[in-house]
């Protein structure tokens, strides 16, 4: 099932596989030439949203949900992520409060208040509780990664609310009937709010807020006024949690990691028991929350964003009352997402279908999005991938089909590049041109074997020549050739057919017709002469008869 906070515009998906190549946990399957997010495997890091060139991945908009909360009449308070100073350059919390109150919000506070509560609890755990490795639980994507893929590491995940949750709980303790809306750059926070009901009532991204303000014609004034009580504003940067902590727990090392791949590598080492007495700050996004998917998609600048956050942060903690320990506790359960694994025989059968009959053919090129051909075969077995996603397989298949057609075609086929150099020639063309092998002409100019004039004409005009007959004196044959541009004019394709026998048969027919005409003319001439002779004889006889009859008539009359 697809996560509720992500949607897919199927009509936009162009089957480019870019999302699966960038998905750190391969939680995307392909079916019917469309990408589908596998909900129980996805960690909501948002990489697919960021890299999709067709904008086929969309974050579900909760603007209307926030509007309904405001219309309810209860006070709706915004918890604003500290990365806002990077997204809304030059704006301070007072500027954001002024703008958001115009939308109908009761008040706006910084999530950094909740971050202060969380970092204090981290310090307390390291000092007072007997723990070996502690992993920060601020990033929901990292929490999901551990819950779904590293359940044995769950005991090391700090059982503490995220800054968003800690702050919203604090708001609801202080303001009766308050509703809370978190605004930040994260996709995963929408899922976190939905899963842990009753703490955060809605989550908006910076993009949703910007669109809402623009629709209402509200502009954010830039009158940034930082204060010294704001050290927790460092939280959205890599190592920001550590910057706010005391880091004085005996025998403990402190480490900050960002990027899912780096975190996965560390989790594997923790799982293997290679790391001890260490507090690890983990963020799924490179650059931490300041590099969140919404910010990265729309103009993320790592250095500038970090400087904006650092410039707005102070060197003292916010003045906020620390709640009881139990009020900051959060329970994490493993999330089962394991698909059926194929046997070795089934993997080998799938590899053979992919044209991988021996290890040397397993290129592990990664073009399909999987690191190895075996991973791809397992994904095919699990219904997540298709055999056609293998680029070398498709290329080899296409080449084999093309080669089979070319080699068995009765027509001569010649392929030239834009320099009119022979790139491919089939056996039928070799026979027509009396060539022993293709090596005798490959790479040479076409002028060596054929008149280049028609090829130059097609290259210049971009228009093909069809069924043109030419007599090749040097080869003693007549051909009918078609020349057309291919691959957007970068190649020229020539298809030729030996029509020498047809041409000879046509010549013989024309000769027979000529001879028939000549014989007919002679017969007609002879017949005309005969007719004329007959007519001449008939004319003399008729005259004599007429004279005799006239004399007889006169004789009879005189009597």
314-340 tens-digit pLDDT? 888 898 999 999 999 999 999 986 678
Question: Is the CB of residue 100 less than 8 Å from the CB of residue 210?
Answer: no
> H or E segment at 28?
strand 28-31
Q: Would you give the end-to-end CA distance of the chain in angstroms?
A: 137
Question: Is the CB of residue 35 less than 8 Å from the CB of residue 28?
Answer: yes
Structure-model confidence comparison of residues 346 and 553, the more confident one: 346
Q: Is 329 helix (H, G, I), strand (E, B) or coil?
A: strand
* Average pLDDT for 485-500: 88
Q: Backbone dihedral region of 155: left (phi > 0), alpha (psi from -120 to 50 degrees) or beta?
A: alpha
Please provide residue 305's backbone torsions phi and psi, each rounded to the nearest 5 degrees: -65, -40
Please provide residue 80's backbone torsions phi and psi, each rounded to the nearest 5 degrees: -100, 120
| 426 closest CA partner among 447, 409, 443, 401 | 409
Torsion of CA 335, 336, 337, 343, to 10 degrees: 150
Question: Is the CB of residue 339 less than 8 Å from the CB of residue 148?
Answer: no
CA distance 73 to 287: 38
pLDDT tier at 1, thresholds 50, 70, 90: very low
Q: Which two tokens stand for residue 213?
A: 């303000």
**pLDDT for residue 243:** 95
* Average pLDDT for 136-151: 96
Provide the whole-model pTM. Answer: 0.72
Q: Is the pLDDT of residue 398 over 80?
A: no
Q: Is the pLDDT of residue 2 over 60?
A: no
Structure-model confidence comparison of residues 205 and 1, the more confident one: 205
Please provide residue 122's backbone torsions phi and psi, each rounded to the nearest 5 degrees: -60, -45
- DSSP category for residue 326: G
Work out the percent of the chain whose per-residue pLDDT is above 90: 52
CA distance 526 to 142: 110
pLDDT tier at 172, thresholds 50, 70, 90: very high
Given CA atoms 314, 317, 320, 325 in this order, what sign does their dihedral have?
Answer: positive
Q: Give the Cβ contact number of residue 412 at 10 Å.
A: 22
């Amino acid at each position: 099932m697809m996560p509720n906070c992500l949607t897919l515009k199927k009509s936009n998906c162009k089957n480019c596989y870019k999302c699966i190549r960038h998905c750190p946990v391969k939680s995307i399957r392909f079916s019917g030439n469309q990408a589908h997010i596998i909900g129980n495997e996805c960690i909501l890091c948002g990489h697919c949203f960021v890299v999709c060139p067709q904008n086929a991945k969309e974050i579900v908009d909760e603007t209307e949900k926030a509007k309904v909360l405001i219309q309810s009449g209860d006070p709706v308070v915004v918890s604003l992520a500290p990365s806002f100073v990077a997204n809304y350059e030059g704006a301070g919390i007072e500027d954001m409060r002024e703008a958001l109150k115009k939308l109908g919000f009761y008040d706006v506070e910084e999530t950094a208040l909740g971050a202060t509560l969380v970092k204090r609890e981290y310090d307390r755990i390291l000092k007072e509780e007997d723990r070996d490795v502690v992993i920060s639980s601020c990033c929901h994507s990292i929490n999901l990664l551990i819950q779904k893929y590293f359940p044995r590491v769950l005991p090391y995940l700090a059982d503490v609310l995220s800054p968003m949750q800690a702050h919203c709980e604090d708001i609801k303790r202080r303001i009766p009937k308050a509703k809370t809306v978190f605004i930040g750059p994260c996709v995963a926070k929408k899922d976190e709010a939905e899963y842990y009901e009753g703490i955060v009532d809605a989550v908006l991204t910076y993009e949703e807020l910007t669109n809402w303000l623009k629709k209402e014609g509200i502009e954010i004034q830039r009158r940034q006024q930082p204060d010294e009580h704001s050290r927790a504003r460092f939280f959205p940067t890599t190592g920001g949690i550590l910057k706010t902590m005391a880091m004085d727990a005996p025998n403990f090392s402190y480490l900050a990691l960002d990027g899912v791949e780096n975190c996965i590598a560390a989790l594997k080492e923790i799982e293997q028991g290679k790391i001890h007495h260490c507090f690890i700050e983990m963020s799924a996004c490179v650059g931490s929350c300041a590099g969140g998917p919404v910010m990265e998609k729309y103009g993320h600048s790592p250095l500038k964003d970090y400087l904006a956050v650092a410039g707005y942060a102070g060197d003292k903690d916010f003045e906020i009352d620390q709640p009881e320990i139990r009020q900051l506790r959060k329970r994490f359960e493993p999330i089962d997402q394991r698909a059926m694994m194929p046997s070795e025989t089934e993997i080998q059968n799938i590899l053979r279908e992919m044209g991988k009959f021996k290890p040397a053919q397993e290129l592990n090129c990664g073009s399909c999005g999987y690191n190895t051909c075996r991973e791809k075969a397992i994904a095919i077995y699990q219904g997540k991938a298709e055999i056609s996603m293998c680029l070398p397989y498709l290329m080899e298949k296409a080449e084999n089909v093309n080669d089979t057609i070319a080699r068995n075609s009765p027509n001569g086929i010649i392929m030239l590049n834009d320099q009119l150099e022979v790139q491919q020639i089939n056996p039928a063309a070799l026979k027509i041109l009396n060539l022993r092998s293709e090596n005798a002409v490959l790479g040479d100019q076409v002028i060596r074997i054929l008149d280049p004039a028609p090829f130059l004409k097609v290259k210049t005009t971009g228009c093909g020549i069809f069924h043109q007959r030419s007599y090749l004196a040097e080869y003693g044959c007549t051909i009918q050739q078609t020349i057309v541009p291919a691959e957007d004019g970068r190649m020229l394709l020539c298809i030729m057919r030996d029509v020498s026998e047809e041409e000879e048969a046509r010549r013989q027919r024309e000769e027979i017709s000529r001879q028939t005409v000549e014989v007919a003319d002679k017969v007609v001439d002879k017949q005309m002469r005969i007719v004329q002779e007959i007519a001449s004889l008939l004319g003399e006889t008729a005259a004599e008869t007429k004279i005799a009859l006239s004399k007889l008539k006169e004789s009879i009359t005189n009597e």
